[in-house]
Amino acid sequence: MEEVRIPIRVKPGSSRTRVGGRYGQTSLIVSVSAKAIDGAATEAALRAVAEALGMPRRAVLLTTGASSRDKVLGVSSEDPDTVRELVRDLLG
């Protein structure tokens, strides 16, 4: 297992959940309908990224940024190159 780090920018309170687009140079935009209250938006973002990558939720962990819109996720995978390619595609 290898961990791939993915910087994300969470947009809480969106009309729908969506993973895709670029924020700055490297961050993946994750829009979630959950509000930024008691970690609900963070949990929704973790679930959304896991689903977008076709992975179980337990494979996606919050590394940094618990109370920030800018977060870094750690994704554990047997095939890290595929994860990196999927992230590149989602960045657009």
Q: Kindly report the pTM of this predicted structure.
A: 0.94
Question: 37-54: buried (b, 16+ CB within 10 Å) or exposed (e) per residue?
Answer: eeeebbebbbbbbbebbe
Residue 1 pLDDT > 90, yes or no?
A: no
pLDDT of residue 6: 98
| 7-24 residue pLDDT tens | 999 999 999 999 999 999
Q: Identify whether the C-beta of residue 69 lies closer than 8 Å to the C-beta of residue 11.
A: yes
| 22-80 residue pLDDT tens | 999 999 999 999 999 999 999 999 999 999 999 999 999 999 999 999 999 999 999 99
Measured in degrees and rounded to the nearest 5, phi and psi for residue 56 equal -70, 150
CA 27/CA 9 separation, integer angstroms: 6
